[in-house]
Amino acid sequence: MSLKATVTPQGAILLGKYVACDAFDEAKPLRVVTHAHSDHILGLKKSLRGCETVLMTPTTKDLIDVLKGPLFLMMGNTQTLGYDEPLTYGEEQIRFYSADHIPGAAQVLVEDQEGTRILYTGDFRLSDTPVIETDVLVIEATYGNPKHVRPFKETVEEALVSLVERSLRSGPVYIFGYHGKVQETMQILHKARVREPFIIPEKVFHVCKICERHGMRLGRYLLSSDEGAEKIMRGGEPYVAFYHMGSRRYVGKEAFRIYVSGWEFREPCRQTGDREYILSLSDHADFEELIQYVKWSRPKMVITDNYRIGEAKTLATEIKRRLNIPAKPLPP
Protein backbone atom coordinates (compact mmCIF):
# COMPACT_ATOMS: atom_id res chain seq x y z
CA MET A 1 0.00 0.00 0.00
CA SER A 2 2.88 2.37 0.72
CA LEU A 3 3.82 2.24 -2.96
CA LYS A 4 0.64 4.17 -3.77
CA ALA A 5 2.32 7.33 -2.44
CA THR A 6 5.88 8.60 -2.17
CA VAL A 7 8.01 11.74 -2.11
CA THR A 8 10.61 12.04 -4.85
CA PRO A 9 14.15 13.42 -4.43
CA GLN A 10 12.89 16.50 -6.34
CA GLY A 11 10.14 17.14 -3.77
CA ALA A 12 7.11 15.85 -5.70
CA ILE A 13 4.42 14.19 -3.59
CA LEU A 14 3.12 11.34 -5.76
CA LEU A 15 -0.41 10.10 -5.08
CA GLY A 16 -1.86 7.13 -6.95
CA LYS A 17 -1.14 6.64 -10.65
CA TYR A 18 -1.57 10.14 -12.01
CA VAL A 19 -0.99 12.93 -9.49
CA ALA A 20 2.18 14.81 -8.53
CA CYS A 21 1.80 17.56 -5.90
CA ASP A 22 4.02 20.56 -5.25
CA ALA A 23 6.88 19.71 -7.65
CA PHE A 24 7.29 18.49 -11.22
CA ASP A 25 7.33 14.79 -12.08
CA GLU A 26 7.61 13.88 -15.74
CA ALA A 27 5.76 10.57 -15.32
CA LYS A 28 2.55 12.09 -13.93
CA PRO A 29 0.02 13.78 -16.23
CA LEU A 30 -1.54 15.85 -13.41
CA ARG A 31 0.26 18.42 -11.26
CA VAL A 32 -1.38 19.85 -8.15
CA VAL A 33 -0.28 23.09 -6.48
CA THR A 34 -1.52 22.90 -2.89
CA HIS A 35 -0.78 26.59 -2.20
CA ALA A 36 1.24 29.54 -3.45
CA HIS A 37 4.33 29.39 -1.20
CA SER A 38 7.63 29.00 -3.07
CA ASP A 39 8.53 25.54 -1.74
CA HIS A 40 5.24 24.22 -3.13
CA ILE A 41 5.44 25.65 -6.64
CA LEU A 42 8.74 23.92 -7.45
CA GLY A 43 9.19 23.21 -11.16
CA LEU A 44 5.88 24.83 -12.01
CA LYS A 45 7.13 26.10 -15.36
CA LYS A 46 8.12 22.52 -16.28
CA SER A 47 4.71 21.26 -15.18
CA LEU A 48 2.91 23.85 -17.28
CA ARG A 49 4.88 22.74 -20.32
CA GLY A 50 5.01 19.00 -19.63
CA CYS A 51 1.84 18.01 -17.77
CA GLU A 52 -1.60 17.50 -19.23
CA THR A 53 -3.25 19.65 -16.53
CA VAL A 54 -2.11 21.73 -13.56
CA LEU A 55 -4.73 21.81 -10.78
CA MET A 56 -5.13 24.35 -7.97
CA THR A 57 -7.84 26.20 -6.07
CA PRO A 58 -9.21 29.46 -7.54
CA THR A 59 -7.53 31.45 -4.75
CA THR A 60 -4.15 29.85 -5.38
CA LYS A 61 -4.46 30.67 -9.06
CA ASP A 62 -5.21 34.31 -8.24
CA LEU A 63 -2.21 34.49 -5.89
CA ILE A 64 0.16 32.96 -8.46
CA ASP A 65 -1.11 35.44 -11.05
CA VAL A 66 -0.02 38.23 -8.67
CA LEU A 67 3.29 36.67 -7.60
CA LYS A 68 4.40 35.39 -11.03
CA GLY A 69 2.53 37.69 -13.39
CA PRO A 70 -0.77 37.05 -15.21
CA LEU A 71 0.89 35.43 -18.24
CA PHE A 72 2.81 32.77 -16.29
CA LEU A 73 0.02 30.22 -15.91
CA MET A 74 -0.99 30.69 -19.53
CA MET A 75 2.04 28.62 -20.57
CA GLY A 76 0.02 25.46 -19.93
CA ASN A 77 -3.41 24.05 -19.21
CA THR A 78 -4.45 25.27 -15.76
CA GLN A 79 -7.68 24.11 -14.14
CA THR A 80 -9.15 25.31 -10.87
CA LEU A 81 -10.90 22.94 -8.51
CA GLY A 82 -12.98 24.05 -5.55
CA TYR A 83 -13.03 22.37 -2.16
CA ASP A 84 -14.99 19.10 -2.03
CA GLU A 85 -15.48 19.19 -5.80
CA PRO A 86 -14.67 15.76 -7.32
CA LEU A 87 -12.57 15.34 -10.45
CA THR A 88 -12.27 11.97 -12.15
CA TYR A 89 -9.16 11.09 -14.12
CA GLY A 90 -8.89 7.57 -15.48
CA GLU A 91 -10.10 5.25 -12.75
CA GLU A 92 -9.15 7.60 -9.90
CA GLN A 93 -11.01 10.45 -8.23
CA ILE A 94 -9.29 13.61 -6.96
CA ARG A 95 -10.78 15.94 -4.38
CA PHE A 96 -9.49 19.02 -2.55
CA TYR A 97 -10.25 19.77 1.09
CA SER A 98 -9.51 23.04 2.84
CA ALA A 99 -6.33 23.51 4.87
CA ASP A 100 -5.86 26.28 7.42
CA HIS A 101 -2.53 27.70 6.21
CA ILE A 102 -2.74 30.58 3.74
CA PRO A 103 -5.76 31.49 1.60
CA GLY A 104 -6.39 28.84 -1.05
CA ALA A 105 -4.37 26.07 0.63
CA ALA A 106 -5.68 22.57 -0.03
CA GLN A 107 -5.37 18.99 1.14
CA VAL A 108 -5.41 16.51 -1.76
CA LEU A 109 -7.28 13.19 -1.66
CA VAL A 110 -6.92 10.53 -4.37
CA GLU A 111 -9.20 7.50 -4.27
CA ASP A 112 -8.27 4.65 -6.60
CA GLN A 113 -10.36 1.89 -8.20
CA GLU A 114 -9.67 -0.43 -5.25
CA GLY A 115 -11.15 2.12 -2.87
CA THR A 116 -7.78 3.03 -1.33
CA ARG A 117 -7.80 6.60 -0.03
CA ILE A 118 -4.46 8.42 -0.40
CA LEU A 119 -4.18 11.87 1.18
CA TYR A 120 -1.55 14.62 1.21
CA THR A 121 -2.17 17.26 3.86
CA GLY A 122 -0.02 20.00 2.35
CA ASP A 123 0.84 22.62 4.97
CA PHE A 124 -1.82 23.18 7.63
CA ARG A 125 -2.80 24.24 11.13
CA LEU A 126 -5.19 21.89 12.88
CA SER A 127 -7.67 24.40 14.32
CA ASP A 128 -9.69 25.01 11.14
CA THR A 129 -8.49 22.08 9.00
CA PRO A 130 -10.90 19.17 8.52
CA VAL A 131 -9.28 15.82 9.34
CA ILE A 132 -9.82 13.36 6.49
CA GLU A 133 -9.89 9.62 7.17
CA THR A 134 -7.52 7.87 4.83
CA ASP A 135 -5.52 4.70 4.18
CA VAL A 136 -2.20 6.22 3.13
CA LEU A 137 -1.34 9.60 4.64
CA VAL A 138 1.44 11.92 3.45
CA ILE A 139 1.86 14.65 6.06
CA GLU A 140 3.97 17.79 6.37
CA ALA A 141 6.64 17.64 9.06
CA THR A 142 7.73 21.25 9.60
CA TYR A 143 7.39 21.04 13.37
CA GLY A 144 7.79 17.27 13.67
CA ASN A 145 9.95 17.32 16.80
CA PRO A 146 8.33 16.87 20.25
CA LYS A 147 10.18 20.04 21.30
CA HIS A 148 8.17 22.03 18.73
CA VAL A 149 5.08 22.71 20.84
CA ARG A 150 3.43 26.06 21.57
CA PRO A 151 1.41 25.83 24.80
CA PHE A 152 0.71 29.57 24.47
CA LYS A 153 -1.07 29.41 21.05
CA GLU A 154 -4.24 30.99 22.41
CA THR A 155 -2.43 34.11 23.64
CA VAL A 156 -0.37 34.99 20.54
CA GLU A 157 -2.93 37.34 18.98
CA GLU A 158 -3.32 39.24 22.24
CA ALA A 159 0.47 39.53 22.52
CA LEU A 160 0.67 40.89 18.96
CA VAL A 161 -1.95 43.59 19.57
CA SER A 162 -0.38 44.60 22.88
CA LEU A 163 3.12 44.82 21.38
CA VAL A 164 1.99 46.89 18.38
CA GLU A 165 -0.08 49.31 20.44
CA ARG A 166 2.76 49.79 22.91
CA SER A 167 5.36 50.29 20.19
CA LEU A 168 3.22 52.78 18.26
CA ARG A 169 3.52 55.24 21.15
CA SER A 170 7.13 55.76 20.08
CA GLY A 171 6.63 55.88 16.31
CA PRO A 172 6.24 53.60 13.28
CA VAL A 173 6.11 49.81 13.53
CA TYR A 174 7.32 47.52 10.73
CA ILE A 175 6.01 43.96 10.58
CA PHE A 176 7.76 41.36 8.42
CA GLY A 177 6.33 38.00 7.37
CA TYR A 178 5.61 35.76 4.39
CA HIS A 179 2.64 36.08 2.06
CA GLY A 180 -0.50 34.96 3.82
CA LYS A 181 0.93 35.50 7.27
CA VAL A 182 1.32 39.23 6.60
CA GLN A 183 -2.38 39.40 5.72
CA GLU A 184 -3.33 37.35 8.77
CA THR A 185 -1.43 39.83 10.93
CA MET A 186 -3.24 42.73 9.28
CA GLN A 187 -6.57 41.01 9.92
CA ILE A 188 -5.77 40.52 13.61
CA LEU A 189 -4.83 44.18 14.08
CA HIS A 190 -7.85 45.39 12.10
CA LYS A 191 -10.16 43.25 14.23
CA ALA A 192 -8.53 44.72 17.34
CA ARG A 193 -9.32 48.22 16.01
CA VAL A 194 -5.75 49.48 15.75
CA ARG A 195 -6.39 53.00 14.39
CA GLU A 196 -3.01 54.01 12.99
CA PRO A 197 -2.61 53.81 9.18
CA PHE A 198 -1.59 50.54 7.55
CA ILE A 199 1.02 51.04 4.80
CA ILE A 200 2.15 48.32 2.39
CA PRO A 201 4.34 47.99 -0.75
CA GLU A 202 2.95 47.11 -4.16
CA LYS A 203 3.25 43.30 -4.21
CA VAL A 204 1.82 42.99 -0.69
CA PHE A 205 -0.96 45.35 -1.82
CA HIS A 206 -1.95 43.04 -4.69
CA VAL A 207 -1.82 39.95 -2.46
CA CYS A 208 -4.08 41.78 0.00
CA LYS A 209 -6.63 42.44 -2.74
CA ILE A 210 -6.75 38.71 -3.58
CA CYS A 211 -7.11 37.77 0.09
CA GLU A 212 -9.97 40.23 0.52
CA ARG A 213 -11.68 38.90 -2.59
CA HIS A 214 -11.63 35.47 -0.95
CA GLY A 215 -12.98 36.52 2.43
CA MET A 216 -10.29 38.17 4.58
CA ARG A 217 -11.02 41.49 6.29
CA LEU A 218 -7.91 43.64 6.38
CA GLY A 219 -9.25 47.12 7.05
CA ARG A 220 -8.08 50.27 5.27
CA TYR A 221 -4.52 50.36 3.96
CA LEU A 222 -2.38 52.63 1.80
CA LEU A 223 0.05 51.80 -0.96
CA SER A 224 3.50 52.95 0.16
CA SER A 225 4.10 54.85 -3.10
CA ASP A 226 0.90 56.89 -2.77
CA GLU A 227 1.27 60.56 -1.91
CA GLY A 228 -0.73 60.21 1.30
CA ALA A 229 1.41 57.32 2.55
CA GLU A 230 4.63 59.10 1.65
CA LYS A 231 3.51 62.15 3.61
CA ILE A 232 2.73 60.03 6.68
CA MET A 233 6.10 58.26 6.44
CA ARG A 234 8.04 61.52 6.00
CA GLY A 235 6.22 63.17 8.87
CA GLY A 236 7.24 60.57 11.42
CA GLU A 237 3.65 59.92 12.48
CA PRO A 238 2.86 56.50 13.96
CA TYR A 239 1.84 53.91 11.35
CA VAL A 240 2.09 50.17 10.82
CA ALA A 241 3.98 48.98 7.73
CA PHE A 242 3.69 45.39 6.50
CA TYR A 243 6.48 43.96 4.36
CA HIS A 244 7.54 40.57 3.04
CA MET A 245 10.25 38.92 5.14
CA GLY A 246 12.67 39.30 2.23
CA SER A 247 12.59 43.10 2.67
CA ARG A 248 13.73 43.12 6.27
CA ARG A 249 17.29 44.24 5.40
CA TYR A 250 16.16 47.22 3.40
CA VAL A 251 13.29 49.04 5.10
CA GLY A 252 12.23 50.25 8.53
CA LYS A 253 15.71 50.14 10.01
CA GLU A 254 15.01 52.91 12.53
CA ALA A 255 11.50 51.74 13.47
CA PHE A 256 10.21 49.12 15.86
CA ARG A 257 10.48 45.83 13.96
CA ILE A 258 8.42 42.68 14.47
CA TYR A 259 9.28 39.41 12.72
CA VAL A 260 6.31 37.05 12.50
CA SER A 261 7.78 33.56 12.66
CA GLY A 262 6.64 30.10 13.69
CA TRP A 263 10.15 29.15 14.78
CA GLU A 264 9.63 30.40 18.31
CA PHE A 265 8.54 28.05 21.09
CA ARG A 266 9.65 29.77 24.30
CA GLU A 267 7.02 32.49 24.57
CA PRO A 268 4.44 34.32 22.41
CA CYS A 269 6.70 37.35 21.95
CA ARG A 270 10.44 37.60 22.52
CA GLN A 271 12.65 40.67 22.35
CA THR A 272 15.78 40.08 20.25
CA GLY A 273 17.22 43.61 20.09
CA ASP A 274 16.72 47.15 21.31
CA ARG A 275 13.70 47.65 19.01
CA GLU A 276 13.27 44.15 17.54
CA TYR A 277 10.89 41.33 18.45
CA ILE A 278 9.93 37.86 17.22
CA LEU A 279 6.23 37.03 17.42
CA SER A 280 5.36 33.33 17.43
CA LEU A 281 2.47 33.34 14.96
CA SER A 282 2.63 30.13 12.92
CA ASP A 283 0.63 28.86 9.95
CA HIS A 284 1.84 25.28 10.50
CA ALA A 285 0.68 22.59 12.92
CA ASP A 286 2.97 22.12 15.90
CA PHE A 287 4.09 18.63 16.95
CA GLU A 288 1.02 17.88 19.05
CA GLU A 289 -1.29 18.89 16.21
CA LEU A 290 0.57 16.71 13.70
CA ILE A 291 0.22 13.70 15.99
CA GLN A 292 -3.46 14.52 16.56
CA TYR A 293 -4.12 14.70 12.81
CA VAL A 294 -2.56 11.26 12.28
CA LYS A 295 -4.53 9.79 15.19
CA TRP A 296 -7.87 11.13 13.92
CA SER A 297 -7.16 10.29 10.28
CA ARG A 298 -6.64 6.60 11.17
CA PRO A 299 -4.28 5.71 8.30
CA LYS A 300 -2.74 2.28 7.75
CA MET A 301 0.51 3.90 6.59
CA VAL A 302 2.10 7.35 7.04
CA ILE A 303 4.76 9.07 4.96
CA THR A 304 6.37 12.20 6.42
CA ASP A 305 7.62 14.79 3.92
CA ASN A 306 11.41 14.69 4.25
CA TYR A 307 12.08 17.03 1.30
CA ARG A 308 10.92 20.31 2.78
CA ILE A 309 12.33 21.89 5.89
CA GLY A 310 11.27 20.11 9.06
CA GLU A 311 11.69 17.02 11.23
CA ALA A 312 10.32 14.21 9.07
CA LYS A 313 12.56 11.47 10.50
CA THR A 314 11.72 12.35 14.09
CA LEU A 315 8.01 12.65 13.31
CA ALA A 316 7.93 9.21 11.66
CA THR A 317 9.66 7.68 14.69
CA GLU A 318 7.19 9.33 17.08
CA ILE A 319 4.15 8.23 15.02
CA LYS A 320 5.34 4.62 15.21
CA ARG A 321 6.13 4.85 18.92
CA ARG A 322 3.02 6.73 20.09
CA LEU A 323 0.34 5.48 17.68
CA ASN A 324 1.74 2.12 16.54
CA ILE A 325 1.17 3.09 12.88
CA PRO A 326 3.84 2.27 10.26
CA ALA A 327 5.55 5.52 9.22
CA LYS A 328 8.62 6.48 7.24
CA PRO A 329 10.28 9.68 6.03
CA LEU A 330 10.59 10.09 2.25
CA PRO A 331 12.77 10.70 0.38
CA PRO A 332 15.20 8.77 2.63
| CATH number of domain containing 186 | 3.40.50.10890
Q: What average pLDDT does range 141-166 have in this prediction?
A: 95
CA distance 289 to 295: 10
Same domain, 136 and 208: no
Same domain, 256 and 289: no
> pLDDT digits over 204-239, tens only?
999 999 999 989 999 999 999 999 999 999 987 899
Same domain, 123 and 159: no
**pLDDT over 80 at 130, yes or no:** yes
Residue 91 neighbours by CB distance under 10 Å:
12
**What pLDDT does 6 receive?**
97
Same domain, 181 and 51: no
Same domain, 320 and 296: yes
pTM, two decimal places: 0.94
CA distance 199 to 280: 22
**What pLDDT does 237 receive?**
86
Bridge partners (DSSP) listed for residue 276: 257, 273
Reported confidence tier of residue 83, pLDDT bands at 50, 70, 90:
very high
**What pLDDT does 235 receive?**
87
Same domain, 76 and 166: no
Reported confidence tier of residue 102, pLDDT bands at 50, 70, 90:
very high
Let me know if 182 is exposed, middle or buried by CB neighbors in 10 A (0-12, 13-18, 19+): buried
Q: Pick the last residue of a domain from 238, 253, 279.
A: 279
**What pLDDT does 116 receive?**
97
CB distance 284 to 202 below 8 Å = no
Same domain, 6 and 36: yes
Domain that holds residue 57: 2-147+284-330
Largest CA distance in the chain: 67
Q: What average pLDDT does range 305-328 have in this prediction?
A: 98
**pLDDT over 90 at 299, yes or no:** yes
CA distance 189 to 127: 20
**pLDDT over 90 at 153, yes or no:** no
Reported confidence tier of residue 277, pLDDT bands at 50, 70, 90:
very high
**What pLDDT does 236 receive?**
79
Report the C-alpha dihedral over residues 287, 293, 298, 301, rounded to 10 degrees.
-50
Q: What average pLDDT does range 92-114 have in this prediction?
A: 97
> pLDDT digits over 43-78, tens only?
999 999 999 999 999 999 999 999 999 899 999 999
Same domain, 43 and 104: yes
**What pLDDT does 313 receive?**
98
CB distance 101 to 122 below 8 Å = yes
CA distance 48 to 33: 11
The three-state secondary structure class of 49 is: helix
**What pLDDT does 135 receive?**
98
**pLDDT over 80 at 2, yes or no:** no
Length of the chain: 332
Let me know if 243 is exposed, middle or buried by CB neighbors in 10 A (0-12, 13-18, 19+): buried
Q: Pick the last residue of a domain from 257, 279, 301.
A: 279
Least confident of 43-47, 87-91, 131-135, 153-157: 153-157
Here the CATH number for the domain that contains residue 297 is 3.60.15.10
Reported confidence tier of residue 30, pLDDT bands at 50, 70, 90:
very high
Q: What average pLDDT does range 134-156 have in this prediction?
A: 96
> pLDDT digits over 249-272, tens only?
999 988 999 999 999 998 999 999
**What pLDDT does 3 receive?**
75
Q: Pick the last residue of a domain from 253, 279, 305.
A: 279
**What pLDDT does 293 receive?**
98
Same domain, 130 and 226: no
Same domain, 81 and 163: no
Structural domain total, the chain: 2
Same domain, 14 and 137: yes
CA 65 to chain centre: 17
Same domain, 191 and 255: yes
**What pLDDT does 317 receive?**
98
Q: How far is CA 120 from CA 82, 117, 190, 305, in A?
A: 16, 10, 33, 10
**pLDDT over 60 at 170, yes or no:** yes
pLDDT above 90: percentage of residues in the chain: 94
